[in-house]
Structure 1
């Protein structure tokens, strides 16, 4: 019982830390530590007029993503049960359009959001790559918000899987809910390492959704390309662990300010480490284990 009480106490402290935010509290308009990069051009919609309001909404409601995740899981299992004795839906054209739209969105997000990070990588020390957030009123902030909202949209990936009665593995829905929850919490505190995380994810999704658009249209893709897509996904997870390790080193060994709370950093370690293990396991089973050699395994939607 003593261990249980200690676990409950630590869990309560961690939850309290997750809901303790510094940005825009008590009437403050401090935007935190952010990049000074200015985009040379921007489309009319590529801006946030009131980042304080958006941030406070995320701070107040980020935990709703946990409830959404529970409903999502129940809904998916319910649909699978209802379709037990029914034929799968075809959905070829909707699937091509769905993946194509997400591919275009991801490519645009990578090019526009990544511009901020790439400039920092060229002109500033490595510390600023992961400890300075994007400017809350510039183009990158808009694409950061779009990234968070896209994690809600991408839950629709699972609907296509279950309606077509394709295999649904734990990695798929665990990844969807974990990224959804972490992304909204990171938005609530403007997690600086999110610049690297978002850029990597936009790139991985650009590759992945383009691949799925091609395969959904009926075009057979050589096995090495499918393998390369999985390598991109797995490398993203390894890089996420590396970035988190660097942030931890900064916090433990320097007095440099870093725009990421220890609670959020703990979530990052948990999520990226489990993702890395699961993707390595999937990669091994899909491309190197003996049974998989006769199968037609495809990279999983991360």
Structure 2
């Protein structure tokens, strides 16, 4: 029995369709005003907490922080396995390009997994709440990345871009390791590979961009310039595809900039250590 079938056996009957499949305007957070209002509230909350905490002692919240991280690490692993279980047989049967770009790869189960991943992005906003309550610096990269990624996932659900799973599974793989790292270090573990989390994220975005630019190129050439070399159409709304390309490109540049500002070897040793403490890997968390 597939893992998805095993889990679905415990799902109660009578759940509305809009909670298991994406229905614009009915599924929670499925309209632009709702998403914008949620992300605006996120910004107001974190900067409000920062203002309130200015003259307060930082809160530890260690146990709650560890629960948050172990939930996201284990949840990311489960969702990663479910997605691969669904999409790998499609690729095995029909080929890689079909599995990445054909609209048939946007199966009902994959759509449901995309929705869960989308809601994970709102849970991940609590990362910033913990930082604010602990009086840690709120770096632009961290705040922008967390809020923009929720918007990115929303746009891809709206546009039904079949290539979405490639970006999401890479991101989930990184999150399994990343949230484990934060869980472990919150418990006092000394882990030497903090710097390589950022390296992993940069590599992730490089692969992401190769895939999404390929898919976008293939769609536009197949649709508008069929005489140009292309393999075939890549399904999904054009606006969602272009938005994804632009946003992921900005992530790559921002994370490379973060890496060099934080870990550049040419900096004096004391300054590297100071930057590492001030910025922290938490400020470079991925989607």
Is the TM-score greater than 0.5? yes
Offset, 1:46: 7.1
Offset, 1:142: 2.8
Q: Does the Cα contact within 8 Å between 1:129 and 1:196 map onto a contact in 2?
A: no
Offset, 1:118: 3.2
Distance 1:53 1:149 in 2: 13
1:95 equivalenced with 2:79 (yes/no): no
The equivalences for 1:166-205 within 5 A come to 166-205=136-175
Offset, 1:174: 0.5
Name stretches of at least 5 consecutive residues in structure 2 with no aligned partner: 224-231
User: 1:281/1:41 Cα in 2 relative to 1: closer, same or farther (>3 Å)?
Assistant: same
Offset, 1:281: 0.8
Distance 1:210 1:107 in 2: 11
User: 1:268/1:46 Cα in 2 relative to 1: closer, same or farther (>3 Å)?
Assistant: farther
Q: Any idea what SS the aligned residue of 2:234 has? A: coil
Q: Does the Cα contact within 8 Å between 1:130 and 1:196 map onto a contact in 2?
A: yes
1:127-176 CA-partner distances (Å, limit 9, x unpaired): 223313545433x3332211111111111110000000112100111111
Partner of 2:36: 66
Which range moves more in the overlay, 243-252 or 289-298? Answer: 289-298
Name stretches of at least 5 consecutive residues in structure 1 with no aligned partner: 1-37
Q: Does the Cα contact within 8 Å between 2:101 and 2:234 map onto a contact in 1?
A: yes
Partner of 1:293: 272
Q: Any idea what SS the aligned residue of 1:254 has? A: helix
User: 1:46/1:116 Cα in 2 relative to 1: closer, same or farther (>3 Å)?
Assistant: farther
Partner of 2:251: 275
The TM-score normalised by the length of structure 1 is 0.78
Distance 1:53 1:122 in 2: 25
Distance 2:250 2:11 in 1: 34
Distance 1:60 1:118 in 2: 28
The TM-score normalised by the length of structure 2 is 0.82
RMSD between aligned alpha carbons?
Answer: 2.5
User: 1:39/1:131 Cα in 2 relative to 1: closer, same or farther (>3 Å)?
Assistant: farther
Partner of 2:47: 77
